[in-house]
Amino acid sequence: MTHDKSHGGAYDRGASDAYYWHARNPHKWSDRTGLTRVTDLTPDEVEAYHAGYDGCSDRKDWGHDD
């Protein structure tokens, strides 16, 4: 399945959450700017969110020595 990877979409938000080490919380931005968070997603959007999260191969290095 091909997912819409545009900025603010569910796939993009999943990848961003994974990159910044945020917990999974499927959402997208309604206006693509981050001003209005939408959590009422279609099943395809939830799938896209998780695909973005799972597909993130690079994560933010916060400089902590854990």
List the domain boundaries for the chain: 10-55
How many angstroms separate the CA atoms of 4 and 61, rounded? 27
Model confidence, pTM: 0.86
Contact criterion met (CB below 8 Å) for 50 and 11 = no
Digit-coded pLDDT (tens) for 7-57: 999 999 999 999 999 999 999 998 877 789 999 999 999 999 999 999 998
Cα–Cα distance for residue pair 6/2, rounded to 1 Å: 12
pLDDT score recorded for residue 66: 59
Give the amino acid at 27.
Answer: H
Angle, CA of 17, 12 and 29, to the nearest 5°: 90
